[in-house]
Structure 1
Amino acid sequence: MKSLRCFCVCSLLLLKVSTGFGDLRRPENVSMDSLNTRYVLRWDWPHETAINQTVTFTAQYILEYQSRKANYEQYWTSVCVNVREHYCDFSGAELHYNGLFLLRVQANTSQQSSSWVQIRFCPDEQAALGPPSSVKLSPVKGDLEIIITDPLSSTNQSMKTLLNDNMGYLIQYWRRSEEPQKAKVLETKNNLVMLTELDRQTWYCVRVQSRDVFNNKSSVFSDTQCTHTEGQMPYWETFLYVLIGLLLFFLLLYFCFYKMFTLLKNTFYPAIQLPDHIQELLFSESEKPQLLSPEYPVSVCVPLVLVRTELDAVAVNEESNAGEQDSSTHSQHSSGDSGIYSTEEDSSHRSTTHTDLQMSSQKHREKLHDGTLLELCA
């Protein structure tokens, strides 16, 4: 009986000792939280540990084809070592988007380590695709213009380059008064899309979803954006524009005609006028020169302008000549000459004086001091 009791006590002690110094329990619910190229390995640790023991975790990865080698343990690469958090960020590990990897994590204490928990990870198949990084909506006349920016990787690289141009977009648009379930759908691979055939002066809402056509993956929708389309130009505004255009056209036409008229007027009717006496000669019928006909005698009148002093001198000369003639006549009569000689001499003298007077009037055509104008006719 005593030996049986001793065996039972020893068995219980050995069971307690084996439980206290056995393997540490493994992390649970290990999964990869990935979006585009942001990879975060997460796990749970709901277990209790011994007193004064801190549990840490270590996470590693390896390419799947390397795990088939005999000494594959040397190819494992540690990303997180003895971290207390229940996650490990693999974004900086440069896991190729089209590669196939094995990831594992274990729990550690100062005395024990748990066994590894391993998962398989293929980014292009398992990583979630993010929505467009930005969507800009703007009205253009009666249409809506949508500018879509590609989702970006952890290194700010377009996901379209990683997906080998297999990425497209699904656009939903609807009137703001309606429900999104009644939205119209448009699929495209372009980053610039124009929505046409929309109602004027109406509010529309738009949201965009990224899609991986090859792997049949879709992102969540982007934030909803709403704007209103532009309306048709009012009739009064159209009439105003037409009126302004016509006004400008007639002003330009008037300016051209005015310039042409001014040019013609300055050419044929210059501003500088000819002197009056030249215009009278050019345009007066009475002042036009005429040829004298030898068959019909014409009386030619020549204007004679004499200064009063010269006229007085001529008169004095005539009087003196007349006095001399009288004295000579008297002397001739007294000396007994014939009267016929005296008469002939007097007439010849008078004709000579008259001829000299005409010649002097033609040579000296001047104005009188008092403005008197004499006209002599020959």
Structure 2
Amino acid sequence: MMKVFLLGLALLRVDSLMYPAVISPQDPTLLIGSSLTASCSVDAGSSLRAEDLYWTLNGRRLPAETYEVLNATTLSVTISSLNGSQQQSGDNLVCHSRDGGILAGSCLYIGLPPEKPTNISCWSKNMKDLTCKWAPGTEGETYLHTNYTLKYKLRWYGRDNTCQQYHTAGPYSCHIPKDLALFTPYEIWVEASNRLGVAVSEVVMLDIVDVVTTDPPSNVHVSRVGDLEDQLSVRWSAPPALKDFLFQAKYQIQYRVEDSSEWKQVVDNVGNQTSCRLAGLRPGTVYFVQVRCNPFGIYGSKKAGIWSDWSNPTAASTPRNGRATGVCEPKNGEHNNTLRRELKQFFGWMRKHGSSYGCANLSIKMYDQWRVSLQKSHKTRNQVLSGDKS
């Protein structure tokens, strides 16, 4: 019995040596702009007195005029107009002895309650999952660790479900990988919580078939159009993941020249077709081309659909010619004159070669053949002019 008593005394002695002082309040949570008065009390049996103590906040010594001796063993400090915590784990308020030893510490959590999350947007990849993103609120920064929880449920029945896979599409996002119903609206909302409170977003209602996106178009090929020096042909495959679903597709194409980072979007809506011809390009130039897809009207949905990511860039070059490559965009009114002049030249060529083809064989291929012959005549003329100059 005596051994147990002595062991207890020894433990108390060790505890008093390890923690020779106590700070009150311990680990408080405070609003930005508020004030705090904290006290540090040393053990009465210690040789330390209140005059032997001082305070630091995040390693910076606080001025003596903010101190007050409350009694022989207790020193308080008052901090006014607190700023937000420098770290989400809390600011370190520490009580020291005269020689710099650490006697006790307290974490100050200084910040703001969470704002109501906003701008919830969701998309489903091939109708197999659901990913949602949101904004943290108008202010955003709370200076405190803030948890965001995305919840969802079927609109007319069912229990609340909590999303589990966070940060999959950015810091404020969550991914629901499976077990989703079609043709039944979901209610989706986000709850934000920290030490100072809870805020809940507005509820968003959506049907999975209305927010479908898909993979980028595959098998993108870019090739020359015969000898036409200002055109390239682009072909691609429709998204295979949606081949079993009734839907329509829109495609967009963008391209850039090899030595530029600026993409030019030339086709806003290619419809269901999976090929397109780019015209008005610079001869002898390498172009990079990308395609993306927007599946819409799935099972009769009236929503606009969501664009996929762009396909990987595919490169091809236009044929080179001997002419200068700089081409100005026609001004208003000049385009019609140019088109009229080209048609006049084309029909003149048709009258000359019409007996060989006949009207029944009139097609875009004949127009392309005329363009090739026109470009060859330009090359021949340029070569003659170059020879005359030399």
The TM tier, using the shorter chain, reads 0.3 to 0.5
Report the TM-score when normalising by structure 2: 0.35
TM-score normalised by the chain length of structure 1: 0.36
- Higher fraction of strand: 2
**Structure holding more helix per residue:** 1
Asked which structure has the greater CA Rg, the reply is 1
